[in-house]
Every structure is written in structure tokens, then in C-alpha cells.
Amino acid sequence: MSAATGSPRVAAPWPWLAGSAAGLLLWGLLYSQLQPFSGWLVSLLPIERHSHLGEAIAFFLYDVPKVLLLLTLVVFAMGVVRSFFSAERTRALLAGRRGGIGNVMAAMLGIVTPFCSCSAVPLFIGFVSAGVPLGVTFSFLIAAPMVNEVALGLLFVLLGWQVALTYLAFGLGVAILAGLVIGRLHLEGWLEPWVLKIQAAQLDLPPNSITWPDRIRAGLEAVREIVGRVWIWIIAGIAAGALIHGYAPEELLAGIMGRDAWWSVPAAVLIGIPMYSNAAGIIPVVEALLGKGAALGTVLAFMMSVTALSLPETIILRKVLSAKLIAVFIAVVGLGILAVGFLFNLLFA
Amino acid sequence: MKDVKVLGPGCKRCDAAVQMVKDAAAASGVEVSVSKVTDYAEIAGYGIAATPGIVVDGKVVHAGGLPKAEDLARWIGG
């Protein structure tokens, strides 16, 4: 690098690290005061605490700040972690891998590799044209939207680490198995013809100059972007959850979404496909439904269907995949999710 | 005259990257022609896997997310 650019190349990391530490401290302070604060807020309202309305409002006032605070922390941490990964590096790790270990790696890298839905098509072509097998590419593309920090963070906050860990394990399982199946079917010929013709140039990026302050900045940027986008969904989701919490009759919901209603699992998967809410809006509703007797397997199947099989994403992918291949993709992933739902309701009876 | 291409299907970040290139060019005083490449096949031909990508005089210098302003100044000014 020439001195002529005049920019201070190595900024001292200490102000950034100290700033992060101060931010975390402030975060902890705020979080520890949530319960007393929301209790105090509810006591100010001229409403009987144990009425339907009182229950709903207390639920809302406690959950909104709690979820937003925790989400901010998780998204920040994930933004920092992602600054260590890139789609190009992930591709280099996956190129030429056979099925099996390649699918496992792809699904796991799908969690940590930075990925936005407008990058889905370039990423797909970039992977396939660089020699990443089709099934391995699909494992990545299924895991990336399904097992993400927003979903895992919210499940952890609202439903506990057991549920979050289970979702992680089964989400990865679906991505790995669906990718393996698609790989075995050898559907390369079902890509759109122009995709197969692409001769990608060898990429030789100059080494990047990323420093710790850059990584912290990446975390803050992720917070601004992701929390800035999903906060409204979270508030809407918690409001819906609060209504269910305060008003929904228990017997009715348990009858529709309980373990005994086997048909509720396929119904949940089907309803989830055209829905494109993100996990942020769905999980608070899910929490309330569980509290009213819905079965965990049914509810997890619904969540996976909403996040992994979204209509807008398949429309984007239609540019590179034939309709037949899209149908196979939806069928294989849908069946996997269905299996997760049934298995869960069976195991955790 | 430098030729800079921003590769991306046209999402918000790609537009932000175009703006960053223009700002860097203005700051460095180097004459730069900036163009957008939105065609998927053409983007893929450059071998990147994440957008936006930045190409300076035919060489890919960046892929995925927004570049650092300092790096951009170096690629364009250097």
C-alpha cells in the first residue's frame, strides 16, 4: 500500500475494544433491570393484573424489551463471527467435495457464512461453476436461511436452550439429508441451460486488511441492518402472542395443534411454505401457542417450513433452476421437515 | 481513466457500493468511469460467489458486502 493514500492504516484497536466492553456492561445493566421495570410499568396501568387484558399487557411489556435486547446481543456477536468467513472461502472449502462430509460441512458453513437473499443466485452459480456438487450446494442453501442466529437466538430466549439446540440439530439434519438425496438423484441436467455454460474466471482476490475494529464495526452494522429490519416483526409477533396468551381458549388450540391431531404436522408445513415472515415474527407466536398446548413437533415443523421453504426465495432461484428441480427441492425439504415434526411429537410425548 | 464495474443484481448494498466508488473517485481526483453489471451470467463469469463485487480495470478486487473505504481508495488511487 502506498503512503500516498494518507489514511491511517492501522487504527488503534483499544478505543473499539473498550467501547465494546462498555457497551456489554451497559447491556447487562439494562437486562438485569427488565423484570422490575416491566412490573412497575404494568402496576401503573389502571387494569386488574390477573384479568385477560392485564395478562396480555404484562406479557407484551416484558417480552418486547427482553427479546429486542437479547436479539441485539446475538446479532452483534454473529456479525463479528461472520467477519471471519466469506462466501468465496466457503466455496473453496467445499469445491470438489463428495457427498457426505461435503453436505455436513456445507450445512454448518451455511450458519456462519455471510449471506443475503439477493446474493442467492450469484452464490448458487458461483458454487456450482467452481465445482461444488449440486447436492452440497443445496445443503448450504437450505441451512443458511433455516438455521440462523435470529431463529436460534429467539428460541433460546423464549423457549430455552434445549429447544434451540434441538432446532439446530434437526435443522442441520434436514439440510444435510435433503442435500444428500438431491445429490444422489443427479439432477445437474435440470439446471437452466445458461447456468451450465458459464465459464467462471479464476478468482484471485487481494488479501483483505480486516482488523478488530472492522470486525466490531461489522457487528454493529449487522445490528443496524438486521434488528432494524426485524424489530417491527418482533413487536407484531409478540402482540399476537400476547393476545393468544391472554385470550385463546386452551382446549381449542390443543385440539387443533396438539399431539393427538396427526394431520396438524402436514398442515403446518403446507401453511408455512407461502408464508414469508422471518423467524422474528413467528417465534413469539410459537411461544404463546406452546403455552396453550400446541405440540412442539408441529410448531417446529411450521417454523422450519416458514424459514426454509419461502416462496420469494424459490422465485429467485427459478432463474437458475428448472421448475422440475424446484419441485424436487420443495418435496425433499418438505418431507424432511414433516419427518422432524412427526419424530418430535413421537419422542417428546 | 480507470474503469470500475460494480457487480450485483441491484439490491440496496450494490447501490451503496456504487456510491462508495463514486465518493472514492471524487476524493482521490482520479478520473473513473463507473458501471453496474446486473446480468447474472455476466456476474458469474467473474468468478465471485457473493455480491456486490468490485472490478477495477478488469481485475476483481472485492466480493461480498461493502468494501472498506481505505481499501477502495487504494484500489482506485493506487
Tens-place pLDDT, residues A189-222 = 888 888 888 877 778 787 777 888 889 988 998 8
Identify the closest residue of chain A to B12 by CA–CA distance. A118
Residue A5: pLDDT band (50, 70, 90) is very low
Is A121 close to B40, i.e. CB distance below 8 A? yes
Do B46 and A199 count as a contact with CB atoms less than 8 A apart? no
d(CA A340, CA A268): 12
Taking the Cβ of residue A3 and every Cβ of chain B, the question of whether any pair is shorter than 8 Å is answered with: no
Contacts of B77 in chain A (CB under 8 A): 4-5
A225-261 pLDDT, tens per residue?
A: 888 888 888 898 888 888 887 777 777 777 777 777 7
What is the SS3 assignment for B62? strand
Chain A nearest-CA distance from B1, in A, is 18
pLDDT value at residue A276: 63
pLDDT at A349: 62
pLDDT at residue A108 in the model: 94
Q: How far apart are the first and last CA of chain B?
A: 12
Residue type, A159: L
ipTM (interface pTM): 0.85
A116 touches chain B (CB under 8 A): yes
State pLDDT tens for residues A275-288: 766 667 788 888 88
Instruction: Considering only residues A83 and A315, tell me which one the structure prediction assigns the higher pLDDT.
Output: A83
Phi–psi pair at B22, nearest 5 degrees: -60, -45
Query: In this predicted structure, which of A97-106, A302-311, B17-26 has the lowest mean pLDDT?
Result: A302-311
CA distance B41 to chain A (A): 7
Please report the pLDDT score of residue A7 as a whole number: 45
B30-73 pLDDT per residue, tens? 888 999 999 888 888 898 888 899 999 988 999 988 888 888 88
Residue B78 to residue A202, Cβ atoms within 8 A? no
- Complete edge-to-edge strand list for the sheet that includes strand B59-63: B32-37, B2-7, B53-56, B59-63
pLDDT-derived band at A4 (thresholds 50, 70, 90) equals very low
Tell me the shortest Cα–Cα distance from A46 to chain B, in angstroms: 46
Q: Which range marks the domain in which residue B64 is found?
A: 2-77
State whether residue B3 is helix, strand or coil.
strand
Residue A188 CA to residue A185 CA, distance in Å, equals 9
CA Rg value for chain A: 22
**Count of structural domains within chain B:** 1
- Interatomic CA distance for residues B46 and B37, integer angstroms: 11
- Residues sharing a CB contact under 8 Å with residue A321, sequence separation 6 or more, in sequence order: A190, A191, A192, A329
**Of A188, A179, A90, A186, which is closest to residue A137 (Cα–Cα)?**
A179
**Is the Cβ pair A87, B71 closer than 8 Å?**
no
Nearest to A280 by CA among A26, A71, A50: A71
Can you give the CATH number for the domain in which B41 is found?
Answer: 3.40.30.10
Q: Please report, for residues A198, A313, B40, B63, the alpha-carbon distance to residue B9 in angstroms, rounded to integers and kept in the order given.
A: 17, 14, 7, 13
Picking from B13, B48, B62, the nearest residue to A122 by CB comes out as B48
Confidence of residue A318 (pLDDT cuts 50, 70, 90): confident
Q: How many CB pairs under 8 A join A and B?
A: 109
User: Which grid coordinates belong to A276?
Assistant: 414469508
Nearest-neighbour CA in chain B from A75: distance (Å): 16
Distance CA A168, CA A20 (A): 28
At which residue does the C-alpha cell 471524487 appear? B26
Determine contact, residues A143/A173, Cβ cutoff 8 Å: no
The reported pLDDT for the residue numbered A175 is 94
